[in-house]
Amino acid sequence: MDYVNIRRQAASIRKGLFDQGYLDEQFYQLEDLQDDASPNFVDEVVTLFFRDSLRLMANIDQALDKCAKDFNKLDVYMQQLKGSCTSIGASKMKTECTAFRDYCRDENIEGCMRSFQKLKREHSVLRQKLESYFQQLRQAGPIECATRPSK
Amino acid sequence: MDRADADEEVQFPAGLRVLVVDDDVTCLRVLQAMLRKCRYEVTTCSQATAALALLRESRDSFHLVISDVHMPDMDGFKLLELVGLEMDLPVIMMSADARTNIVMKGIKHGACDYLIKPVRMEELKNIWQHVVRKKWTDNNRDVEHSGSFEEGDRTIHNNNTNINNNNSNKRVAEDAEYASSANDGGAPDGSGGWKSSQKKKRCTVKEEEEGETESADPNSSKKPRVVWSVELHQQFVNAVNQLGIEKAVPKRILELMNVPGLTRENVASHLQKFRLYLKRLSGVTQHHPGLPNPFCGPVSTNIKGGPLGRLDFETLVASGHIPPQALAAFEEELFTQNGSKQPVREIAFGQPLLTCGPPTTLTRQFPQSNSSNITINPSLDMPSSFSNWPSNNDLAQIIHHQQQQQQQVVGSGVSVPQPSASLNVQPSCLVIPSSQQMNTYQSSENTILASQSQSQGSGFQTGRGSLVQSPMMLPSQSLSSLQRVGPSSQSYQVKQGPSVITSQPSISGNSGYTNAGSVVDYNNSLISTQPKNLRFGVGQIVDEELNSMTAVSNNNSFSMPGMMSGMVNSGFGFNGARMSDNNRQGRRNNLGFVGKGTCLPSRFAVDEIESPTNLPNFSQIGAGDLVNPENFGLDGQI
């Protein structure tokens, strides 16, 4: 296996995620927390995030279906999701969460729905990219974990 | 030694015990990693109710709480207040919500800091300052308070005006014990840094406190601490009832009570706590309608309804400390305002009363589990007659039985923190070899103590005060593990407690209860104005006759570690107070029942015994220490 190339690819994915605004500073913090004691920390947290966010988004979906006028509830769910996004540094998703909450505040249901669709897309894109990133990392071997490049 | 000091410095603030509460598992995981990197000991909890139960169970287990603002099962601010009132721990709020008004709300509710998510490592590295600051401030306050009435007045005034301000509530003027306990904290575990620094403070404060408690002369320069015994509290309550809660002012109450040596400040402080307690009751009630307590089978949820409802009172009544009529009247008054909601609601002290033995009556004692509390009433089906202390085996069985019950009960809908809540809680049960009397309020005066003395063989520690050490205490090991339960059940009724304590046959065991009784009532409402264990601020007067463990000893009588604290703390905590020699043991728990907190899980007591590290060991506490229950670990633990 060409570890060098794999690692390069991983690094490239990672860089792209930052450059394109999918990830922000917080992700660096996660990477910093990874060490010998928890060598897969970032991967674990990200996995946890995607699992939990799916659940939250399902709740929102359901809420939009059943009680579309309950903006408070929608806001609460979205707040939870936003909190999660900030915890891993999912920047674009976080922005979309904020937009959704703004629509909630304005009681604009169409806006909410549009925003939510966008959020789901962002979620999906981010997940795909991160999954491929971690996959590369795993293939590349433990040597080069998600080390932060010199900032 | 220099070396030791150096080590301490290096370690400090490592070992800080932090409880993180957040429904967001991702955030929880990240915070956990960050805090671990700071070398803190982290416990995470994804449910506020579970966290509260855990805290109640063992107040001294944590130095600091970090909580999210928006949580599904309980508002973060409410948790903040409760923790402040009951346990007097510093609480840091955090949220992705950076709106100024929300942050302001956090401050108003008493948060010592407010972090905006995403939380960075640098911010977490500094959280220890809140713990230290709080302790020092409390110590100073106590010191000041003891020195002058003016200070106390000011504090009381502050408290009165900032009801929701946890910090000021916590600083009850007379809460010197709290201060001392706050200082404690250095159990000889690995975190040398914390411990020694804590110990130093504690020693200083303790000296002052002891000096104060020794002196019973209210006019002496050092203000003696008033111990709000059951009787005294009953008088207080009667006076308040007579005046009407709205119109009850300290001066008039003092006049009505007509207790020599009692000062207006004492009453004012106590009144404040009491008001908070009531407020809690009503506030909590609305917020979390009390769930019928599955555990308390026969117990009616309504306090008035049964003796069970209010354990404390029951016990108190049973023990003769409170005339039944007074009790009824009191409860009537107390809960009328709240629509007779079970005050327990809040309290759900963690420790389910794991009554060893006969305890059927125990069930009664368990307060209703509040929705906010995960209470597990382990001992629903305890054997009814407890003639003698069960052997350890029996106890183990009982505990196991109770645990099973708990499990069942838990399943019955009470929100119990599940393991998934990242909280590993075991049913907390107070295993108290207490005589059945303890559990049932009907029991004769002897209640716990008496039984305990009988069961001397069981390993009760009859020594003075050394509750903790009593082997009876269930093999403390097991006890502690029992207590570990998260959703502590309402056992705050621990009354069963005394088991441990003092071998003194003096009934004081009852007192333990009685106090508990009274405490319980108050406790329910989390009034615990004193976050510390009961520190009722009122001071505890070492009461010679305490041997009989009259109510005061609540704490003492319960050797059950949890009990004491839980019990006493839970309510008003005024019961803690009397520390007689006999009650030494109890002291920990309950001085003052100041609502602190409810439930000091018996586990706590056990823990103390068990692990000197986390709490000032009882064993380490000398006779003089008894005076200040706070000294027992609970408080100082940090």
In a domain, B558, yes or no: no
In the predicted model, what is the mean pLDDT of chain B? 55
Question: Sign of the C-alpha dihedral, residues B592, B597, B602, B606?
Answer: negative
* Distance in angstroms (rounded) separating the CA atoms of residues B598 and B280: 12
* Distance in angstroms (rounded) separating the CA atoms of residues B416 and B488: 9
Report residue B231's pLDDT band, with 50, 70 and 90 as the boundaries.
Answer: confident
- State the pLDDT at residue B523: 39
> Residue B126: CB partners within 8 Å, gap ≥ 6?
none
B6 and chain A in contact, CB less than 8 A: no
- State the pLDDT at residue A19: 92
In a domain, B243, yes or no: yes
Question: Sign of the C-alpha dihedral, residues B83, B85, B91, B95?
Answer: positive
* Distance in angstroms (rounded) separating the CA atoms of residues B344 and A68: 38
In a domain, B249, yes or no: yes
The DSSP result for A27-65, as a single string, is: HHHHHHH--SSSTTHHHHHHHHHHHHHHHHHHHHHHHHH
* Distance in angstroms (rounded) separating the CA atoms of residues A3 and A20: 25
CA-wise closest residue to B533 among B608, B595, B579, B619? B595
Report residue A81's pLDDT band, with 50, 70 and 90 as the boundaries.
Answer: very high
Cβ distance of B117 and A41 shorter than 8 Å: no
Residues B133 and B27 in one domain: yes
- State the pLDDT at residue B397: 52
Residues B137 and B235 in one domain: no
CA B29 to chain A, closest CA, distance in angstroms equals 7
A87: nearest CB among B23, B24, B37: B24
In a domain, B587, yes or no: no
In a domain, B114, yes or no: yes
Cβ distance of A32 and B118 shorter than 8 Å: no
CB pairs below 8 Å between A and B: how many? 60
In a domain, B86, yes or no: yes
B70 and chain A in contact, CB less than 8 A: yes
Number of domains comprising chain B: 2
Residue type, A116: F
Residues B242 and B134 in one domain: no
B97 and chain A in contact, CB less than 8 A: yes
Residues B245 and B137 in one domain: no
Report residue B404's pLDDT band, with 50, 70 and 90 as the boundaries.
Answer: low
Q: Render pLDDT for B310-362 as a digit per residue (tens, 0 to 9).
A: 444 444 444 444 455 544 554 555 444 444 444 434 333 334 433 334 434 43
- State the pLDDT at residue B267: 85
Best residue of A52, A54, A87, A95 to probe chain B, by most B CBs closer than 10 Å = A87
B117: nearest CB among A30, A52, A87: A87
> For position B77, which CATH number holds?
3.40.50.2300
The residues in B 9-28 lying below 8 A from A, measured between CB atoms, are: 23-27
Helix or strand run (H / E) with residue B20: strand B17-21
pLDDT reading at B585 higher than 50:
no
Beta strands, E only, B501-618 = 573-574, 592-594
CA B66 to chain A, closest CA, distance in angstroms equals 15
- State the pLDDT at residue B233: 80
B132 against B204, higher pLDDT: B132
pLDDT reading at B498 higher than 90:
no
The pTM of the full predicted model, rounded to 2 decimals, is 0.45
- State the pLDDT at residue A148: 56
pLDDT reading at B120 higher than 70:
yes
Residues B21 and B137 in one domain: yes
> For position B272, which CATH number holds?
1.10.10.60
B34: nearest CB among A33, A88, A89: A33
Helices B311-318 and B516-524 sit at what angle, rounded to 10 degrees? Answer: 160
- Give the domain extent around B251: 230-278
Contacting residues of A for B70, CB less than 8 Å apart: 76, 79-80, 83
Q: Render pLDDT for B611-634 as a digit per residue (tens, 0 to 9).
A: 444 433 333 334 444 444 444 344
Cβ distance of B117 and A86 shorter than 8 Å: yes
- What percentage of chain B exceeds 90 in pLDDT? 9
Q: Of A46-55, B202-211, B335-344, give the range with the top mean pLDDT.
A: A46-55
Residues B137 and B26 in one domain: yes
Domain A3-29+39-138 in CATH 1.20.120.160: yes
